[in-house]
Structure 1
Amino acid sequence: MRNWLAAFPFIAAIATIAGVYAGVSGRLPEPLGTHFNGTGGHIDGYTSAHGFLTWNLVELLVLGIVLGVFVYLRRTAPGTRWVIALGWGLAAAFGYLSCVTLLINVDVTDAADVRLPLWRVAVGLAGALLCGALGWLLAGPDRRPSDRRPAGHAERLALGRGETAGWSRSVGSPLVAALAVVTLCAALVIGFLGDRLVAGSLLVAAVVIGAIASVRVTVDRRGLALASTLVPYPFRRIPLDRVEEATSRRVDPLTDFGGWGYRTCPGRSGLVLRSGDGLVLRLTNGREFVVTVDDAATAAALFNTCLDRAREQ
Structure 2
Amino acid sequence: MKGVKGMKGASGVGVGARARSGLASKGPWWALIAAFPFVAVLTTVVLVYVAVADRLPEPLATHFATGGRADGYGTAQDLLTLVPALLLISGAVFGALLQVRAFRPATPWLIAGGFATAAGIGYPSCLTLFLNDGVADASTVRLPLWQLPVALVVALAAGALGRLLAGAPPRQPDPASGGAPRLDLPAGTTAGWSHTVSSPLMAVLGVVLFGAGLAAGVLGAWPATLILTLAAALVLPFASVRVTVDRRGLTVAPALLPSRLRIRRVPLDRIKQATGRPIAALAEYGGWGYRIRPGGSGLILRSGDGIVVTLTGGRTFAVTVDDAATAAALLNTYADRARSQQGG
Q: CA RMSD in A?
A: 4.4
Q: Distance in 2 between matches of 1:28 and 1:275?
A: 46
Give yes or no for the alignment of 1:206 onto 2:203: no
SS of the residue 1:307 aligns to: helix
SS of the residue 1:226 aligns to: strand
Aligned partner of 2:112 in structure 1 is 85
Distance change in 2, residues 1:234/1:74 (3 Å): farther
- How many residues were matched structurally? 265
Aligned partner of 1:281 in structure 2 is 309
Residues 171, 294 of structure 2: 8 Å contact kept: no
Q: Distance in 2 between matches of 1:73 and 1:199?
A: 36
Q: How far off its partner does 1:157 sit?
A: 1.4
Q: Distance in 2 between matches of 1:235 and 1:77?
A: 27
SS of the residue 2:183 aligns to: coil
Aligned partner of 2:155 in structure 1 is 128
For 1:156, the aligned partner's letter is R
Structure 1 residues without counterparts, runs of 5 or longer: 13-21, 35-48, 51-63, 109-113
Structure 2 residues without counterparts, runs of 5 or longer: 1-30, 42-58, 73-89, 132-137
For 1:81, the aligned partner's letter is P
Q: Distance in 2 between matches of 1:271 and 1:252?
A: 12
Q: Distance in 2 between matches of 1:184 and 1:33?
A: 31
Give yes or no for the alignment of 1:155 onto 2:174: no
Aligned partner of 1:216 in structure 2 is 242
Residues 265-286 of structure 1: per-residue CA shift (max 9 Å, x gap): 0012111111211111110110
Identity %: 47
Aligned partner of 1:164 in structure 2 is 190
Give the TM-score, by structure 2 length: 0.60
Residues 54-84 of structure 1: per-residue CA shift (max 9 Å, x gap): xxxxxxxxxx9xx979878775332333245
For 2:187, the aligned partner's letter is R
Runs of 4+ residues deviating >6 angstroms: 67-74, 94-97
SS of the residue 2:182 aligns to: coil
Give yes or no for the alignment of 1:182 onto 2:205: no
SS of the residue 1:231 aligns to: coil
Residues 242, 252 of structure 2: 8 Å contact kept: yes
Give the TM-score, by structure 1 length: 0.66
Aligned partner of 1:226 in structure 2 is 252
Q: Distance in 1 between matches of 2:211 and 2:98?
A: 23
Aligned partner of 1:254 in structure 2 is 282
Distance change in 2, residues 1:96/1:213 (3 Å): farther
Residues 262, 269 of structure 1: 8 Å contact kept: yes
Q: Distance in 1 between matches of 2:306 and 2:223?
A: 38
Larger Rg: 1 or 2? Answer: 2
Distance change in 2, residues 1:135/1:187 (3 Å): farther
Q: How far off its partner does 1:158 sit?
A: 1.9
Q: Distance in 1 between matches of 2:233 and 2:100?
A: 24
